[in-house]
Structure 1
Amino acid sequence: MIARRNFLRQLGLSATGLLVGSRSWAIAPTTAPRPLRIGVISDLHHMQFGKNEVPRMTAFMDAVLKSSPDFIIQCGDFITQLKQTEGILEQWNRFSGPKYHVLGNHDMDFCDKKTMMQLLGMEQRYYSFDRGGYHFVVMDRNFLKRDDGTLADYASSNWGPLPAPQRSFSDAAQLAWLRDDLAAAKHPVIVFMHQPVFLSDYYDELGNADEILAIFDETNLRAREAGRNNEVTAVFMGHDHDDRHAERNGVHYFIINSASYLYSGKALYYADPLFAFITLHPAGRLTIEGKASTYRDPVPDKIRARYPVKISNYAVGIPKITHR
C-alpha cells in the first residue's frame, strides 16, 4: 500500500495530519426535529489471520450502549469465516435498535453472498431506508468482471486471483435500482458502501466507480434544477484501512478506517479498536467523533512517521477537489 500513496500525492491528496477529536462539515439541511446519531464500524476482520476480534467488537458495543445512537452500521469485512462467529454476533445484537450491514469482499472469503447474508440477517444485498430526515442507501460492490465482460458474485475468494481492474463492480440491476431509488428519494441522501468509488489508494481496483459517480452527479444536477432536497450529500466507504475525506462535486466522501489494523505487506494491528459516531444535524452539519489509538506492536519507522496515530473515520489537510 505504501507505493500506492504516491497516487494520492499526484492528485494533491493527503492522508496525513490526522486529528483527535470531533470535526464537522456542511451538508444538506432537513426538517427533522432533532439530530440523528449513527454508530459506525468497518473492517473488523474477525478471524482474519486467526485473530479473534470479539474484544474490539465488545468495546464498540459498550460505546454504542452508552451513546444510544439511532442506528448502527458496519461497512463490510465484518466476519471472514463462518466458524467462531457467535461472540461477534452476540455483541452486535446487544443493541436493540436498528442495525444494518454492508457486504465487504472478505465476508465472502469462505462462502457465497447468500450464506453470509443469512448469517447476518440481511434480506437484501443492497437496499435503502429513511430515518431522521435522511434517505440512506447501502450498496453491494462485490462483483468480479470475467474475461468475457460479464459479472459474477464474489464467492469463496474467487475475486482474489483476479487482477485489480476486474474487481469491485456493482451489477447493472443494482445501478438501475440506484438511479430510480435516488430519483424517488424525499430527503437528502447518505450512502454506505465497502469498496470506495473515490479517494482510494487502490486506484486500479475501482470497478465501475465511474458509473456510480455519474449517477450521483446526475441525481444532484436534477435535484438542483427541480429545487428538490434529495441530493446525495455524503458517502461513507471502507476497504482501504485508512482515514480520508474530500469533497467532489458538492458531495463529501469519507473512507472509514479499519477497526483492527493497517495493512502494509502484513497486518499492523492497532492497540485499541477504531470506530466512530456520526451526527447529522437538521440545520445542515455532519459531525464525526473519532477514536484514537497507537500501534499494538512495533512498526517500521516510515509507517509510524506517516501514521503516528490512527483515528477512526476522518482526516484533515485534504483540499477540496471537484473531479476525479
Structure 2
Amino acid sequence: MRMPTLTLGIVTDLHFGPEAHFRGKLRKLTHHAASLTEAFVDRMNREVMPDLIVNLGDDIEDESREADLVRYAECQSILRKAHAPLINVAGNHDLVNLTRSDLLASWHREGPLYYALDHGEWHLVVLHTIERKDQDIRIPRAQLDWLREDLQKTTRPTIVFMHHSASEQDVDDSRWFSGRPELALVHERADLRAILEESKKVRAVFNGHLHRNHFDVIHGIPYITIQSLIENLDDDAPGRPSAAHAIVRLTPERIIIRIQGPDPARYQIEL
C-alpha cells in the first residue's frame, strides 16, 4: 500500500515581544509578529491545509516573566487557530524567564520538552537543545540515549525537529553568529548525527534559530534551517520582514520544501 503524502506547515522564530537590535541595527521586526503569525495560519487554513503545523521555537523575545507569559500564550493561541494539530519545539528565548512547566502547560503536554509521536506512517521526533547564554548549546547524554532507543523501536520513516542546528554549516557570513558558531550549532552534534545515521530511518532534520535559510546533506541526511518569521531583510530600520514559513511535502520517494516570503528557497530531496 502506498504511503500518503504528509504535508507540514513550518514556522520558526516568531519573537513576540520588544524590538531587538544587534550591533546597533534593527534586526527583529517583532512588532509584525502577531500579524505575520495570523497571516501564516490563515494561509495554512485557506490554501495549504497541512496535516500538521510545526513551530520550531522562540515564540517570544524574552523581556520579563510576566510579559513573556502573556506573549507566549498569545503566540500559541494564534497558532492553535490552524485547522491542524500543532507540534511545538522549545527555543532558547522561550526559556529565559519561563519554565519547562510553563511551556508544557501551553503545549497541553506532560513530561520532558523532547518527545516523539506517530502521524500516519511517519515517526516524528522533537528534540530539546539547551542554550547556556553566551556559552554554548548542549543536548544532554540522557536525551541522546532516549533518542537512540526511540529510533530503535520505530519502524517508520522519521523526521526530526529541533531549534538549534546539528549541521556543520559555516556561519562566517551570518548576521547573528559570525565568529560565534558555539551559539548556533549544537556542541554534541557529531554524536547526535551518528545516532540519526545509525538508525537508517531519518529522512530529514529541520531547525530554526539561525535566522536564515540553509540546506546541507551530511552522510545522506538533509539538514534544513528555516528563516525567522520576523527577520529584517534590510540592513536597518524601518525594515522589511521576511514573513518566512515553509511548506513541506513528504512522500516515500521525495521531500519537497518550499520556503515562502520575500526570502524564498526551494529544496528537493530524492529518497
TM-score calculated relative to the size of structure 2: 0.79
Identity %: 26
Relative to structure 2, which stretch is displaced further, 58-67 or 114-123? Answer: 114-123
Q: Which residue of 2 aligns with 1:224?
A: none
Query: Quick one: distance in 1 between partners of 2:3 and 2:75?
Result: 34
Shift of 1:266: 7.4
- Shift of the 176–262 alpha-carbon distance from structure 1 to 2, 3 Å rule, reads farther
Cα distance per residue 1:137-177 (max 9 Å; x no partner): 1000015xxxxxxxxxxxxxxx32x43xxx21111221111
Q: Which residue of 2 aligns with 1:114?
A: 101
The structure 2 residue matched to 1:70, chosen from 37, 42, 51, is: 51
Query: Quick one: distance in 1 between partners of 2:237 and 2:187?
Result: 25
Shift of 1:48: 4.2
Q: Which residue of 1 aligns with 2:90?
A: 103
Shift of 1:213: 1.2
Task: Tell me the amino acid that sits aligned with residue 270 of structure 1.
Answer: R
The answer to whether structure 1 residue 39 and structure 2 residue 9 are counterparts is yes
Residue aligned with 1:258, SS = coil
Residue aligned with 1:34, SS = coil
| Equivalences, count | 239
Task: Report if aligned partners of 1:244, 1:315 keep a CA contact under 8 Å in 2.
Answer: no
Q: Which residue of 1 aligns with 2:147?
A: 178
Matches within 5 A, 1:79-94: 79-80=60-61, 81-94=68-81
- Shift of the 111–262 alpha-carbon distance from structure 1 to 2, 3 Å rule, reads same
Shift of 1:89: 2.7
Query: Quick one: distance in 2 between partners of 1:285 and 1:265?
Result: 36
Query: Quick one: distance in 2 between partners of 1:120 and 1:248?
Result: 32
Query: Quick one: distance in 1 between partners of 2:72 and 2:209?
Result: 21
The structure 1 residue matched to 2:39, chosen from 39, 59, 63, is: 59
Task: Report if aligned partners of 1:32, 1:133 keep a CA contact under 8 Å in 2.
Answer: no
Relative to structure 2, which stretch is displaced further, 208-217 or 195-204? Answer: 195-204
Cα distance per residue 1:286-323 (max 9 Å; x no partner): 01122121xxxxxxxxxxxxxxxx226x579xxxxxxx
Q: Which residue of 2 aligns with 1:204?
A: 182
The structure 2 residue matched to 1:289, chosen from 258, 264, 268, is: 258
The answer to whether structure 1 residue 279 and structure 2 residue 249 are counterparts is yes
The structure 2 residue matched to 1:234, chosen from 188, 199, 204, is: 204
Question: Which one has more relative contact order, counting CA pairs under 8 Å at least 6 apart?
Answer: 1
Structure 2: gaps of 5 or more residues? 21-29, 62-67, 172-176
Task: Tell me the amino acid that sits aligned with residue 130 of structure 1.
Answer: D
- Shift of the 263–271 alpha-carbon distance from structure 1 to 2, 3 Å rule, reads closer
Query: Quick one: distance in 2 between partners of 1:235 and 1:132?
Result: 18
Task: Report if aligned partners of 2:234, 2:240 keep a CA contact under 8 Å in 1.
Answer: no
Cα distance per residue 1:159-200 (max 9 Å; x no partner): 32x43xxx2111122111100001111111110000101144
Shift of 1:110: 1.7
Cα distance per residue 1:101-138 (max 9 Å; x no partner): 00010111222222222233343401111123221110
Query: Quick one: distance in 2 between partners of 1:268 and 1:183?
Result: 50
The structure 2 residue matched to 1:129, chosen from 109, 117, 134, is: 117
- Shift of the 291–232 alpha-carbon distance from structure 1 to 2, 3 Å rule, reads same
Shift of 1:255: 0.6
Task: Tell me the amino acid that sits aligned with residue 185 of structure 1.
Answer: T
Task: Report if aligned partners of 1:35, 1:132 keep a CA contact under 8 Å in 2.
Answer: no
Task: Tell me the amino acid that sits aligned with residue 91 of structure 1.
Answer: I
Query: Quick one: distance in 2 between partners of 1:172 and 1:267?
Result: 42
- Shift of the 194–264 alpha-carbon distance from structure 1 to 2, 3 Å rule, reads farther
Q: Which residue of 1 aligns with 2:225?
A: 255
Query: Quick one: distance in 2 between partners of 1:266 and 1:118?
Result: 37
Query: Quick one: distance in 2 between partners of 1:290 and 1:263?
Result: 15
Query: Quick one: distance in 1 between partners of 2:195 and 2:118?
Result: 20
Task: Report if aligned partners of 1:56, 1:272 keep a CA contact under 8 Å in 2.
Answer: no
Query: Quick one: distance in 2 between partners of 1:185 and 1:264?
Result: 44
Task: Report if aligned partners of 2:137, 2:182 keep a CA contact under 8 Å in 1.
Answer: no
